[in-house]
Structure 1
Amino acid sequence: MSYGEIFLWEMMGTAVLTLLGCGVTANVTLRRSLGHEGGWLLVSFGWGFAVFAGASIAGPTDAHINPAVTLGLAVEGSTPWDQVPTYIIAQMVGAAIGAGLCWAVYKLQFDTHDDPAGTRGIFATGPTVPNKPWNLVTEIIATFVLVFWVIQSPEAGPGDTPGIPEFGNSALGYAAVAFVVIGIGASLGGPTGYAINPARDLGPRVAYALLPIRGKGSAEWGYSWVPLLGPALGGILAGALTLVLPAT
């Protein structure tokens, strides 16, 4: 596959990921939205199925839609290192585009929200108890679970139904990834909002800083390195552990 094709499919898949993921958070957060106060479980399910939709679209590129997955697969050996920059740039661009589209969908709700300064959380993650070293540990562990599952999950096997990812569960395909993400959100997402994806956080954070949102607050750039570095390290550790495990 050419670099251009990788860029296109990864960009579109990640755009849908953040459109739907930021969208469910906006639905729960914004006062004049039908999902207002829908709760953390709705957010977790929304992000999980956002991953399902984005991964399905990005299927031609093995559906990374996450720099942590790309790095983990590169360390493990499945993804050539020369393709890594293309994957990551496409994921970052797509994530910003999806966040911008989310704002367009909810513009009227943003305009009438009673706490415009508190809207950053719709786009980017943040800790409930700020402590950057421990917040980093949380993101490393949560992302490790995701990427290690991606690498180690049962393969679909040769000759089976088109559309089932090579790295995915043979029965559920990309839906299996959605359930893992929902599980991570429900179990490990409370401390930091579980970025588990550097693009999912940085792209929307940049979009938030640039979008004309009435009365918006700070993009919190001082924290932004945590959801970048933590997931990247979690993905790298998952790929590295795979190299020392016995072959199955």
Structure 2
Amino acid sequence: MGMDKMKTWMKKILSVITIRSDLGRCLMAEFYSTFMLSVFLRAAIAQDLTSGTGSVFNIAFTAGMGVAFAIYSSFGVSGGHINLAVSIGVAVLGKLPWKRVPVYYLAQLAGGFVGAVLVYAVYQDAFDDFDGGERQAFGPNGTAAIFATFPQLYLSVTTGFFEQVLSTALFLAIIGAVLDHRNVPPPLNWAPFFFGLIILALVMTFGHNAGAPLNPSIDLSGRLCLGVMGYGAEVWVLADGTHDGVHWWLIPIFGPAIGGAVGSWAYYLAIELHHPPVDEKEDATDYKEKIELEKKDGMPKTHAAEIQYPLLPERDSQTSV
């Protein structure tokens, strides 16, 4: 009897906390998945720094797999953006209402911040051993780079900004290719894995100059964590002897945000726009058939598959050029 009452109460509690609005589910999904990415990424950097490993590949690989795991967590609910630049890149092509972009960003910031605080708590003893209990942003014992990105001393502001636009544009352009079902994309359920590979490649190619931010949601949430943990104003306004007075924190926000829009439009204008026209009736039939096939393979009809990234018919192999 006691067990039955407990089950009844548990059902009532779960019923009360169940989110029933589509926007609410999407925001929870973005919070949760960005939290996961934040933990994986920052824990990898913290381990690398405090252990003296110095492995760029370790960080790049973990960043890539962290992105894949995070997107898998929310791909079927919100589209698994986990990144303001991705939200903007989807919105500029009309696949996400613009009014959702700022609230998605807030959810991502919250998830990234909670993840950063958790990593700080787990690695606090390691930080104490590394810096003697005196937190420093930069220098031999600096730990700020675990939570946010900063430029090398030789890097100019102009080059740093351009790099963020370019690297994020490449990311969104390749996302466009992976999701273009009139090209030769992988199956939709493999897409998050390929997104992770994209991140691994970008960190390995653009990571040295300024840490390859690529993600305003992760970078700003980590910088907020640094502020709370008492790292000082230099995590916002640089005082490194070369970039003194530069509000560098703006570059990892606006650079990727612009790059997201540029990359989405680049793929659309270069490739997607020029696909041969298809009959609307045929298009709708193929679309429904693809959804049904995905359901049989264990993939439900989802917000991501039907709205965020609509499936398009495969190109007829006899007419492709």
How far does residue 126 in structure 1 lie from its aligned partner after superposition?
1.0
Please give the alpha-carbon distance, in whole angstroms, between the structure 2 residues aligned to 1:242 and 1:77: 14
Larger radius of gyration: 2
Instruction: Read off the aligned partner of 2:96 and give its amino acid letter.
Output: T
SS at match of 1:145: helix
SS at match of 2:210: coil
The answer on whether the counterparts of 1:120 and 1:218 sit within 8 Å (CA) in structure 2 is: no
The answer on whether the counterparts of 1:120 and 1:217 sit within 8 Å (CA) in structure 2 is: no
Does structure 1 residue 54 correspond to structure 2 residue 94?
no
Q: TM-score, normalised by structure 2?
A: 0.68
Residue 297 of structure 2 corresponds to none
Residue 125 of structure 2 corresponds to 108
* Cα distance per residue 1:69-111 (max 9 Å; x no partner): 0001100111111211221111111111111111122111012
Residue 17 of structure 2 corresponds to none
Matches within 5 A, 1:24-39: 24-30=44-50, 33=51, 36-39=52-55
How far does residue 247 in structure 1 lie from its aligned partner after superposition?
3.6
Does structure 1 residue 41 correspond to structure 2 residue 61?
no
Instruction: Read off the aligned partner of 2:218 and give its amino acid letter.
Output: R
Instruction: Read off the aligned partner of 1:121 and give its amino acid letter.
Output: A
How far does residue 156 in structure 1 lie from its aligned partner after superposition?
6.7
5+ residue gaps in structure 1?
A: 158-167
Instruction: Read off the aligned partner of 2:222 and give its amino acid letter.
Output: P
* Cα distance per residue 1:123-170 (max 9 Å; x no partner): 00111133111100011100001111112214579xxxxxxxxxx732
Please give the alpha-carbon distance, in whole angstroms, between the structure 1 residues aligned to 2:274 and 2:35: 35
Please give the alpha-carbon distance, in whole angstroms, between the structure 2 residues aligned to 1:192 and 1:25: 14
Percent of pairs identical after alignment?
A: 25
Matches within 5 A, 1:85-164: 85-114=102-131, 116-117=135-136, 118-128=142-152, 129-155=154-180
Does structure 1 residue 16 correspond to structure 2 residue 36?
yes
5+ residue gaps in structure 2?
A: 1-20, 137-141, 238-246, 276-321
Q: TM-score, normalised by structure 1?
A: 0.86
The answer on whether the counterparts of 1:47 and 1:181 sit within 8 Å (CA) in structure 2 is: yes
Question: In structure 2, which of residues 244, 250, 254 is the aligned counterpart of residue 225 of structure 1?
Answer: 250
* Cα distance per residue 1:34-83 (max 9 Å; x no partner): xx324111111111111111111122111000000000110011111121
